[in-house]
Amino acid sequence: MPCQLRSVVNVLRLPVRIGLRIWKDERLLAVTRLLLLAAVALLGLSAAGTVEITFTLQPSYALLGLAALCGMPWAVEGWLRLPRTLRLAAATLVVVYVVAMLTGSPARLASQGRGGTLRPLVYIADLGLGLATVGLLCGVWSEAFGRRLLISFCTGAAITTTFAVYQWFALRFSLPLSDVNNALNSDGFTTGHRFQGAGLLGWERTRGTFKEPLVLGLFCVMALPLALRAVTSVRRRWRAGIVAIVIVVACALVLTVSSLSIGILIATGAVVTLIVTVRDGHVRVSGTLGAIVVLGLVAGPALLSNPSALSGLTGRSGHDLKLTADNRKVAWRDAVRRWEEQPILGYGPGQSSVRLAYRPDPLAVNRTYAPVVLGSAQGIWAASLIDAGIFGFCAWAALYLAVLSFGARAVWRDRGPRLALIFWAAAAGVVGSEFTGDRVDFRVWLALGALAAASEFYAGESGHGHRKSYEATDEGPAQRVGREFAHR
């Protein structure tokens, strides 16, 4: 029976591949790549240059939506080229959330339009666009496009972090343009400048064009490995500029004084370095790193329960650190309590923020009144329990595991830092998504897509040696649909 089913699937797949090949066009491919490059360059505009509709529409989000529409054939092709386990994990995630939407019991938040009946559809669209972005990068990837993508990202990261460094001085000395954000703050009802707490030298922490310093820190944590990757791929005359970008990104990360972001950078970097050293046979180094990783796993929960111990290292008061950690732990406890009420398929997509809605303290933002606003589960693992129950939690875990294991196998086979650094950025993004927000940020989706695309591309060099020279012209993806058309 399985053989017969496989034969039917193969018969149905052939006309789909032929249709996609007819649909695709060279000019459409060029437009799709241009939109992707622009979206990557504008990733830093997280809370600036946005438009409020039923949700906060970021410029990069709109560009990725256009890229997905123009490049749908390549997105489908990209997913067809990925391993079966990865495709199955992605399909399972979509099915679980669609079923959760159909069977859930969504609530409305009358005080906010973004808490209305359209929220489940917006969440499903957000999830679909994230998965389409992964497939799209796999479908249009080539050696040359990968370099341009890195350069585009580094250019945007340089502008974003340079402004963040400037903001640190501007807030201290009341300089112009100290705040350019127009999106809602993390309290859900104010916009513009909010005091972010004292940090380095007692000056206010910088958040740049993001909602809060933590989110800027997570952006820097992903940007650092990708900037280092660009150093190894660009021509020698451009390396000094990329090194300068690395320094600026590192400075912005320090000025956020985000212990969580820095901890994620160190932890994921140690794990990636451990994989590389074991692969290359460095026994002593890998043994030392293994001990450090185990020590970190033991010390991490202890620091989370007593974050004031980091006060001397970060320069932040023990009270501020404890308040930040307590807010996250309270959100997690509330999320688990909500999940226990409906544990199988949850309340429906996007319901975590509605079910955790709260009324902020108006005195904290110098207001006399504060409306009920959307809450945050502080991590996709907690949000998935409320939105889609235990099935949603397992579906996210399966998708993350499938992508990261695919990337880890490619890193193990590859020599050099090119894949390891992309894997570092993706792993840092995945870990960061477990501590903030109720949806996976598109920076994380792009990092996962770049990891999957680069892993599939470089893995193909060993099994299909012709692909490297064929794709380097940037004409390969327009002429093929799947591996059987890769060589003409």
248-259: pLDDT as tens digits: 999 999 999 998
H or E stretch covering 56: strand 56-57
Residues 6+ apart with CB under 8 A from 134: 78, 79, 90, 403, 445, 448, 449, 452
Q: What whole-number distance in Å separates Cα of residue 311 and Cα of residue 199?
A: 10
β-bridge partners, 163: none
Inter-CA distances, 463 with 144, 147, 268, 403, Å? 20, 22, 29, 20
Q: What whole-number distance in Å separates Cα of residue 480 and Cα of residue 488?
A: 9
Report how far apart the first and last C-alpha atoms of the chain are (Å, whole number): 34
Selection from 372, 307, 383, 388 nearest residue 94 by Cα: 388
Q: What is the pTM (predicted TM-score) of this model?
A: 0.87
Token pair for 133 = 């972005």
Residue 246: what residue type? V
Cα 41 → chain centroid? 15
Contact by Cβ (8 Å): 85, 62: no
Contact by Cβ (8 Å): 84, 398: no
Token pair for 148 = 């341009």
Q: How many CB atoms lie within 10 A of CB 469?
A: 11
Residue 476: what residue type? G
Q: pLDDT by residue for the chain (488 residues), tens digit each?
A: 455 555 655 555 656 565 556 556 788 899 999 999 999 999 999 999 898 877 788 999 999 999 999 999 999 999 999 999 999 999 999 999 999 999 988 888 776 666 677 888 989 999 999 999 999 999 999 999 999 999 999 999 999 999 999 999 999 999 999 999 999 888 888 888 888 988 888 899 999 999 999 999 999 999 999 999 998 887 788 888 999 999 999 999 999 999 899 999 999 999 999 999 998 888 888 888 888 888 877 777 766 666 666 666 666 777 777 778 888 889 999 999 999 999 999 999 999 999 998 888 777 777 778 888 888 999 999 999 999 999 999 999 999 999 999 999 999 988 778 899 999 999 999 999 999 988 999 999 999 999 999 999 887 544 443 344 333 444 444 433 333 333 33
Mean of per-residue pLDDT scores for the chain: 85
Token pair for 309 = 């111990």
What b/e readout covers 169-203, taking b as 16+ CB neighbours within 10 angstroms? ebbeeeeeebbebebbbbbbbbeeebebbebbeeb
Residue 79: what residue type? W
3-state SS class at 51: strand
Contact by Cβ (8 Å): 258, 324: no
Contact by Cβ (8 Å): 97, 392: yes
The radius of gyration computed from the CA coordinates of the chain, to the nearest angstrom, equals: 23
Length reported for the chain: 488
Token pair for 400 = 């993350």
Residue 382 phi, psi (nearest 5) = -70, -40
The alpha-helical segments, DSSP class H, found in 111-142 are: 119-140
440-464: pLDDT as tens digits: 999 999 999 999 999 998 875 444 4
Token pair for 72 = 């749908």
Q: What whole-number distance in Å separates Cα of residue 253 and Cα of residue 259?
A: 10
Strand intervals (E) in 297-341: none
Inter-CA distances, 478 with 40, 470, 475, Å? 22, 11, 6
Residue 368 phi, psi (nearest 5) = -90, -15
